[in-house]
Amino acid sequence: MVASLQLVARGKRFGTVLTPLVLAAVALDAVMLGLRAVSIGGVPLTGLFESLLLLALVLGVVYLLLRPTIGQVWFGSVMVWVILGMILTAALVAKPAAKPQAVAATPWALAHATAMILASASIMFAAASSVLYLLGSHRLKRKQIVLVLGRTPNMETLVRMNRTAIRIGFILLALGVISGLCLAFLHGPGIVPWLRDVKVICIILACGLLGAILLLDRLHLLKAKVRAYATLVVFGLLLLAMVGVTVAGATQHRFSRDRSPAAAVLRA
């Protein structure tokens, strides 16, 4: 509500309220993750609910770090809406804590989960900057300069933010894929079954598209607007992998086990 109010005429005073609200959200996320860790008796990185909470926490920290240097109202609003989306999605998929599998305590699993969550945060930040760039480009094309100046970061800053986030996201996502394949080879069913998993396929496609974006951008063959749209496609693939495929039950990529054998039988 505050993020929407600050976009209204003379609504800049609401922007100062966002920082303490996001700080409170980050603190509450940390408390929930701590309680979850106690409940499962392990690191809270193994379930979709915990991953989304941690993702919201990371995005909140990114917002708090950038807020002093990027104070435009649209940047704050978009970041807050992304954080809200993560929290609402976490609420939709929330379920009683499940005990993690033994493999979840291995260094490969922790490295894989950490890399994937940080990569997701980077890609979501890149997607947010892409939305702002496309919005600013659209308004400038329609000569609505008043709606852009002072409301969004300048176009060069948005391009730089997008490029930096894509680079970080690609490195982390590649590390996540590599550590995941090593985990599957050493402790799981093997690499081939994982490569047939829809969730893994979506993540590999996202990683490949990020690599293509960086390569074409390096060769100066990619316009900023095309890169922004391509970033949104990567974000869509990641969202499908994280939420859509998992909620639909079309993946065996899990690090937690159900509380009762009956639940496993019903799922099978």
Residue 174 has pLDDT above 70, yes or no: yes
pLDDT at 142: 65
pTM of the model as a whole:
0.73
Q: Which of 49-58, 160-169, 183-192 has the lowest mean pLDDT?
A: 183-192
Mean pLDDT of the chain: 78
Residue 9 has pLDDT above 70, yes or no: no
Q: Give me the residues paired with residue 11 across strands.
A: none
Highest mean pLDDT among 95-99, 109-113, 245-249: 109-113
Which tens digits make up the pLDDT trace of 49-77?
Answer: 888 888 888 888 988 888 877 767 777 78
Look up residue 163 and give its two tokens: 């490029």
Q: How far is CA 23 from CA 17, 32, 60, 91, 161, in A?
A: 10, 14, 7, 19, 22
Which tens digits make up the pLDDT trace of 220-232?
Answer: 888 888 999 999 9
Every domain of the chain and the residues it spans? 2-257
- Inter-residue contact 135 to 151 (CB < 8 Å): no
Task: Please indicate whether residue 50 or residue 101 has the higher confidence score (pLDDT).
Answer: 50
> pLDDT over 90 for what percent of the chain?
18
pLDDT at 111: 80
Residue 191 has pLDDT above 70, yes or no: no
pLDDT (mean) for 142-162: 69
pLDDT (mean) for 175-200: 74
Residue 82 has pLDDT above 60, yes or no: yes
pLDDT at 197: 75
Q: Which of 139-143, 199-203, 218-222 has the lowest mean pLDDT?
A: 139-143
What is the C-alpha to C-alpha distance for residues 232 and 206, in angstroms, rounded to an integer? 10
